[in-house]
Amino acid sequence: MTFIDMLRQAAIRNDSMLCVGLDPDPARLPGDWQGRPEHILDFCAAIVDATTDLVCAFKPQIAYFAAHGAEGQLERLIAHIRQAAPAVPVILDAKRGDIGSTAEQYAREAFVRYGADAVTLSPFMGFDSVAPYLQYPGKGAFLLCRTSNPGGDDFQAQRLASVAGEPLLYEHIAALAQGPWNTNGQLGLVVGATYPQEIAAVRRMAPALPLLIPGVGAQGGDALATVRAGYAGPGSVVINSSRAVLYASAGADFAQAARAEAERTRALLQSAADTQA
């Protein structure tokens, strides 16, 4: 089964557009685990177990593991997801972007070492920085397109005078991903929830691609506007919430609180999709 198929089926099965981002900060772990990175796996596994039936994907952020020497815990976490939620895809948020043999090794890291179903990539070194990931049959890749941070304007919102029609850079990336770059049919785009008008523009240029949309929740993105701008059927939008779910409670009830927040967010997103129908 390809990543796109897996994503769509998970979205239908769990009636969900919600992706829970797994960004474990040891300083924010609950109770006796606070400040103890050796409990990253325990924390994330509890979040996974509490939300498996509410999500269309899980998205571990590799920096939160690597910064604490917890890559082994990341491997075990993804193995745990495979057992607890075998039909839910795992998107490794790594934002890799390099060429040649280095890109080949990063692709192996994502898909062989960690066993992810998809990975986030920076496209700014061109297609040869993306191509090694597309050699893995059925694996997905989300290209950074219009990111949620204000500094994204520095490059992404600039016009390309050398391209016909002078599109903005993020529009050009969307067109490439929809067209000639999508050699394995498994590309998607990262578009921030803080820019709903840009989400709509990307959707027009890339009608068939899944959009991974961070920025809902702690970053202040408008969930309703996000869905209305990007939704095009099950699996078309993957709306990530990390901190709002992970840290819904700092107490012993953290997993139950995470579930309650995930349920609330899923329902909010679905209500927006219902108004589209």
- The pairing of strands 118-121 and 237-241 is unpaired
| pLDDT (average), residues 57-77 | 98
Instruction: Please give, one letter per residue, the 3-state secondary structure of the chain.
Output: CCHHHHHHHHHHHCCCCEEEEECCCHHHCCHHHCCCHHHHHHHHHHHHHHHCCCCCEEEEEHHHHHCCCCHHHHHHHHHHHHHHCCCCCEEEEEEECCCHHHHHHHHHHHHHHCCCCEEEECCCCCHHHCHHHHHCCCCEEEEEEECCCHHHHHHHCCECCCCCCCCEHHHHHHHHHHCCCCCCCCEEEEECCCCHHHHHHHHHHCCCCCEEECCECCCCECHHHHHHHHCCCCCCEEEEECHHHHCCCCCCCHHHHHHHHHHHHHHHHHHHHHHHC
- Report d(CA 211, CA 64) in Å as an integer: 23
pLDDT tens sequence across 32-65: 999 999 999 999 999 999 999 999 999 999 999 9
Residue 199, domain extent: 3-276
State yes or no: pLDDT of 161 exceeds 90.
Answer: no
Lowest mean pLDDT among 45-59, 101-115, 141-155: 141-155
The one-letter code for the residue type at 172 is H
- Report d(CA 25, CA 34) in Å as an integer: 9
Percentage of residues in the chain with pLDDT exceeding 70? 97
Lowest mean pLDDT among 115-124, 159-168, 215-224, 249-258: 215-224
pLDDT value of residue 245: 96
pLDDT value of residue 218: 52
- Report d(CA 277, CA 275) in Å as an integer: 6
pLDDT tens sequence across 174-228: 999 999 999 999 999 999 887 788 999 999 999 999 999 987 755 555 778 889 8
- Report d(CA 122, CA 190) in Å as an integer: 10
Q: Centre a 10 Å sphere on the Cβ of residue 200 and count the other Cβ atoms it contains.
A: 16
Question: How many structural domains is the chain composed of?
Answer: 1
Active-site residues, by number, are 95
Q: What is the CATH number of the domain that holds 99?
A: 3.20.20.70
State yes or no: pLDDT of 247 exceeds 60.
Answer: yes
pLDDT value of residue 217: 57
pLDDT band (50, 70, 90) for residue 157: confident
Report the length, in residues, of the chain: 277
pLDDT value of residue 223: 77
